[in-house]
Amino acid sequence: MGPATDPAGRHRAVAADFSARVRGVRDWDAPSPVAEWTARDVVRHLLDWFPAFLATGSAHRLDPVPDVDEDPVAAWERRTQAVQALLDDPEAVAGRFAHPRLPELPLGAAVDRFYTADVFLHTWDLSQASGQDPALDPAFCAELLSGMRPMEQVMRSSGQFGPAVPVPDDAPVQDRLVGFIGRDPSWVPPPA
């Protein structure tokens, strides 16, 4: 069963899946499919960008987490608990998110669209880097791919996504999504 579609439920499911991968990492310095990133850098990315994004568009602030270089598992778990607590608060979720570069949205929708989706996408990166099962929910893969295709030019010009990796039209939806965001679905870690 795929993740729920309400912001709190979807984050709970997506973050639980990512958390399981975090706890399964044995080598935090292993290379990831994102050029020049290690497994630790995948987690670092998710920890680093979201607090400023949230603070720019709302009055909500996230407490600091442990140093990802010292304890990536504790850092991730603290952050995911804080985000879940925010999304479990009906008043916060219904509040407005007014980021200067985006249309105004309910806070829950903004977290879902930008942060939870990013956690979902990076689950594949962390899985590949750590040799874990990279399978993602196909329904959410299809939803994200369908939503991102019309915005491809804007996404690519943002510098946050590399060039698409060509994937056959009849490839599994996960491979098509991974290729769309600039990853090679057949990526494997380089030999040690």
Give the pLDDT confidence of 77-102 residue by residue, as tens digits: 999 999 999 999 999 999 999 988 88
SS3 97: strand
Among 19-23, 85-89, 111-115, 153-157, name the one with the lowest average pLDDT. Answer: 153-157
Question: 3-state class of 139 per DSSP?
Answer: helix
Cα-atom radius of gyration of the chain, to the nearest Å? 16
The mean pLDDT of the chain is 93
Confidence check: pLDDT of 154 > 90:
no
- Cβ distance 18 to 7 under 8 Å? no
pLDDT-derived band at 5 (thresholds 50, 70, 90) equals: confident
pLDDT at 160 over 90: no
77: which residues sit within 8 A by CB, 6+ positions away? 19, 22
Q: How confident is the model at residue 3 (pLDDT cuts 50, 70, 90)?
A: low
Side-chain-facing half-sphere of 99: CA atoms under 13 Å = 18
Q: How far apart are CA 23 and CA 76, in angstroms?
A: 10
Encode burial over 18-52: b for 16+ CB neighbours within 10 A, e otherwise. bbebbeebeebebbbbbeebbbbbbbbbbbeebbe
The residue ranges of every structural domain in the chain are: 7-136
CATH for 7-136 (3.30.1120, 2.40.128, 1.20.120, 1.20.58): 1.20.120
Helix (H, G, I), strand (E, B) or coil at 157: helix
Q: Does the pLDDT at position 189 exceed 90?
A: no
Residue 38 three-state SS: strand
What pLDDT shows up at residue 190? Answer: 85
Nearest to 141 by CA among 185, 173, 109: 173
pLDDT of residue 1: 40
Q: SS3 for 9?
A: helix
Q: What are phi and psi of 13, to 5 degrees?
A: -70, -45
Q: How much of the chain exceeds pLDDT 70, in percent?
A: 97
| pLDDT: which is higher, 1 or 31 | 31
Q: Is the pLDDT of residue 37 over 70?
A: yes
